Amino acid sequence: MSLITLTNIGVRLGGHQALSHVDFSIDEGEIVTVVGPNGSGKTTLLRTIIGAQKTSSGRIERARGLRVGYVPQSLSIDSTLPLTVRRFLSLPLRHSGAAMEAALIQAGVEGLLNRQMSALSGGQFQRVLLARALLKKPDLLILDEPTTGLDQPGSASLYRQIEQVRATLGTAILMVSHELHVVMSASDRVICLNGHVCCHGTPEIVASAPEYRALFGTGTQGALALYRHDHDHHHHSHADHSHEHGACDHA
C-alpha cells in the first residue's frame, strides 16, 4: 500500500505557481527519484511532503503512524553553535548511545559521536545527516540532493549506502538528484518534474519520453546511454539499442 499519496497538489510561492496538478505516491520499500531542471519545484515537492510547505490546492494522505526521515539539501551550522555529533543525533528526541552508534554504522561511518559537527568532512557530514534520519526508524526516507558538495567517488559511495539502507531496512526512499546516470540506475521509479509532472515511470520509460529529452537534452542522454550500455543493454529492443549506441558514441 502507499505510504503517502498526493492528489492534484498545487503550491504557490510568493505569487508564483511552483507546483500544479501534482499527483504522487510512494509504496513501501520503493526508491523514487525526482529529477528536473533548477526551479522546477523539486525541493518544494519534498518540503510539501514533510509538511514544511503549505499547499494551495489538493490533498495529502499519509499512512497511519508514518515515520518520515528527512535529510535536507544543505545544513549550515553557525560557528557559534557548539554541537557534537552525539547531541545532533539526539535532536529533538534523545536516543541511546548504542542506537546512535548503530545508526552511524548503517550510514557508513563509525566512532564520530564525540566529534564536533564543524570538524566533519563533507562526506562524514552527509552520513551523519543520514544517520539522524535513520534513528527515527523511518518508513520513508526523504533526501534532497544528498550528494551536494561531494566529489564523484564520494557521491557514488553515498548512493551505494542509500541502496544498502533500502536493502537492509526496507525503507522507502524518495530523493532529488542531479546525477542522472546514478539515479537512473538505482531507482525503481523516476519522476520528471517541471512545475508539474512531465513524465514518470521506470527509468527506461522516463529516459525515452520526449518530455524528458526536451528538458535534459542530448548531453545527459549520452551519460545515461553510456550507463545502460555498460549494465543492462540486453534488456532493450534492437531498435532502442542501436539508438543508444549512437548516443553512446557521442558521449
Partner 1 sequence: MLDDFLIRATLAGVGVALAAAPLGCFVVWRRMAYFGDATAHAAILGVALSLALSTSVFAGALAVALIMALTVSTLSGRGYAMDTLLGVLAHSALAFGLVAVSFLHGVRVDLNAYLFGDILAVSTTDLAVIWAGAALVGVLTIWRWSALLTATLNPDLAYASGIDPKREQLVLTLGLAIVVAVAIKVVGALLIVALLIIPAASARPLSRTPEAMALIAALIGGLSALAGLRASFLWDTPTGPTIVCVAAVIFLLTNLSARFLRV
Q: How far is CA 59 from CA 51, 54, 173, in A?
A: 12, 11, 21
| Count of residues engaged in binding partner 1, rule: CB under 8 A | 24
Tell me: does residue 52 bind partner 1 (CB under 8 A).
yes
Tell me: does residue 87 bind partner 1 (CB under 8 A).
yes
Type of residue numbered 223: A
Q: Is 80 or 237 the residue whose CB approaches partner 1 more closely? A: 80
Largest CA distance in the chain: 60
Q: Is 74 or 237 the residue whose CB approaches partner 1 more closely? A: 74
**Cα separation, 92 vs 5, whole angstroms:** 27
Cell numbers placing 206: 522516463
Tell me: does residue 14 bind partner 1 (CB under 8 A).
yes
Q: How far is CA 16 from CA 40, 47, 116, in A?
A: 12, 16, 40
Tell me: does residue 70 bind partner 1 (CB under 8 A).
yes
**Cα separation, 213 vs 160, whole angstroms:** 27
Q: Is 81 or 239 the residue whose CB approaches partner 1 more closely? A: 81
Tell me: does residue 75 bind partner 1 (CB under 8 A).
yes
- Nearest approach in angstroms of CB 63 to partner 1 is 16
Options 39, 82, 111, 149; binder of partner 1; rule CB under 8 A: 82
Stretch that binds partner 1, among 16-24, 75-83, 151-159, 208-216 (CB under 8 A): 75-83
CA 115 to chain centre: 27
Options 36, 41, 72, 108; binder of partner 1; rule CB under 8 A: 72
Q: How far is CA 126 from CA 75, 148, 154, 158, 242, in A?
A: 9, 9, 10, 8, 39
Tell me: does residue 77 bind partner 1 (CB under 8 A).
yes
For binding to partner 1 (CB under 8 A), which residues are involved?
A: 14, 47, 50-52, 68-70, 72, 75, 77-78, 80-84, 87-88, 91-93, 116, 142
